[in-house]
Amino acid sequence: MLAPAAPVGGSSVSRNPFSRAARAIGSCFGRRPPPPPDLSEDLKPSPSEQPPPPPKTVLSSSSSSSASSTSTRSMYGSSRGSAKGGSGRGILNSREFVAQAQPQPGSMRFSMAEIHRATKNFSQTLKIGHGGFGTVYRGTLHDGMVVAVKRAKKGDSNNHLGAEFQSEIKMLARIDHLNLVRFYGYLEHEDERIIVVEYVPNGTLREHLDCVHRSHLDLAARLDIAIDVAHAVTYLHMYTDHPIIHRDIKSSNILLTENLRAKVADFGLARLGATGVAHVSTQVKGTAGYLDPEYLRTCQLTEKSDVYSFGVLLVELMSGRRPIEPKRERKERITPKWAMKKFMDGDAVQALDPNLSESPSTNMALEKILELAFQCLAPTKEGRPSMRKCAEILWSIRKDYRELASSDPFSRPSDRRKHSDNEEKMPIKPGKLRTRIVT
């Protein structure tokens, strides 16, 4: 079933000059920007925590965007801190602040000359990745703002890629949420098609799980990331009058900020869910290992296909393994299947990432997260929770985890912290963490 459409913002939206401006920009893409879905009723605060932030649409100029960012920050404040503080979170660094104080999505206009300048003529040294859409570069605009420039070449494209490009820009132009990569603008020039988006500086979730970056993700950080992703996808699913199905939720599409805040990227495969119908029937797309089996069978896409992919992501977060691990022995190759078996056999701890050490609080969180994953991975959509419900459950798990960790002598200091601070993160050496603790 489709998530209910959020209430329309009403006259307050239309009176707001920034909203009007954003609406005008949205109309360039054939649609008006959405009012923010209201989750306040469903995401009630637990007594000891701030409420989870509702999906937020910032329809504002730079200055009011800053104000909005401040209020968003305060909502997240209890669980955020400096990058160097590891799980100590709460303060956005200056770079992040700059990123948030940008003009509204889609409002920036670029010339090809500026893109060439920003990327030093698409210098190899500024290349940060390559994906289905094309090549991604780190760019610096004339005012010093750092952006990610996604470049596709018309020459390389066929109709399929063209449709994906159009899809991506339409989505991005209308989307604005702290946990979604922000869209700044796009450009078509001769055979070049360029998208300029927020640069997210700290690599992908997959890279972090692979310990490509120096530090590794502790359980508190993984829980926060899961919640960030749940918020972002809830926002997409509750998008006013046109729910958006991401269709490619996976760890390499989760980008991390320096504070380990997650931002969901890559809406190239996203399609608007049709209003008033229970599914969108279209060509099967997505990434092996994350694909909803029901969608594969029926080609009928609903928000619950994202929930399935999110279930795979939860298993990935807890186990550290990729969804498909071809080099492992047969019964361990399909990670969700293997992890769910361990969970069902009462042996969830065997699915724990070797980079995480066991403790009562970790084991409790692991069990509960795998239980949620189990629900998300239900064979049919009816058995799966909504994304909003996933966010609620994760909030409750985090609350219990923090409470238990605070009285857990075996947990690491970052896990014991109830609220953010700026303590230095403990250097962790992978492989030294699997100390079994008898409870």
Ligand X SMILES: Nc1ncnc2c1ncn2[C@@H]1O[C@H](COP(=O)(O)OP(=O)(O)OP(=O)(O)O)[C@@H](O)[C@H]1O
Between 238 and 277, how does the x/- string for binding to Mg ion read (CB under 5 A)? ---------------x------------x-----------
| Shortest distance, position 134 Cβ to ligand X, whole Å | 7
133 interacts with, out of Mg ion, ligand X, none, CB within 5 to 8 A per kind: ligand X
Sites for ligand X among residues 307-326 (CB under 6 A): none
Q: Is 156 a catalytic residue?
A: no
Nearer to Mg ion by C-beta: 135 or 166? 135
Nearest to 270, CA basis, from 374, 167, 393, 392 = 167
Under the criterion CB under 6 A, does residue 25 sit at the interface with ligand X? no
Under the criterion CB under 6 A, does residue 197 sit at the interface with ligand X? yes
Residue 414, CA distances (Å) to 90, 349, 365, 408, 421 in order: 13, 21, 15, 12, 9
Catalytic pick among 228, 248, 353, 408: 248
Q: Where are the alpha helices (DSSP H) in 326-412?
A: 335-344, 360-376, 387-406
Q: Using CB atoms within 10 A of its CB, is residue 19 exposed (0-12), middle (13-18) or buried (19+)?
A: buried
Nearest residue to the partner ligand X, using Cβ: 131
Q: How many residues bind ligand X (CB under 6 A)?
A: 20
Alpha carbon 391 to chain centroid distance?
Answer: 12
| Shortest distance, position 404 Cβ to ligand X, whole Å | 35
Between 111 and 150, how does the x/- string for binding to Mg ion read (CB under 5 A)? --------------------x-------------------
132 interacts with, out of Mg ion, ligand X, none, CB within 5 to 8 A per kind: ligand X
Phi, psi of 334 (to 5 degrees): -95, 100
Under the criterion CB under 6 A, does residue 133 sit at the interface with ligand X? yes
Other beta carbons less than 10 A from residue 276's beta carbon: 8
Gap between the Cα atoms of 363 and 86, Å rounded = 20
Under the criterion CB under 6 A, does residue 129 sit at the interface with ligand X? yes
Sites for ligand X among residues 203-222 (CB under 6 A): 204
Gap between the Cα atoms of 148 and 335, Å rounded = 32
Q: Using CB atoms within 10 A of its CB, is residue 436 exposed (0-12), middle (13-18) or buried (19+)?
A: exposed
Q: Which stretch binds ligand X (CB under 6 A): 195-203, 272-280, 381-389, 392-400?
A: 195-203
Residue that has been written with the tokens 């019964």 in this structure: 331
Q: Which stretch binds ligand X (CB under 6 A): 129-137, 217-225, 306-314, 390-398?
A: 129-137
Under the criterion CB under 6 A, does residue 136 sit at the interface with ligand X? yes
Q: Which residues are catalytic?
A: 248
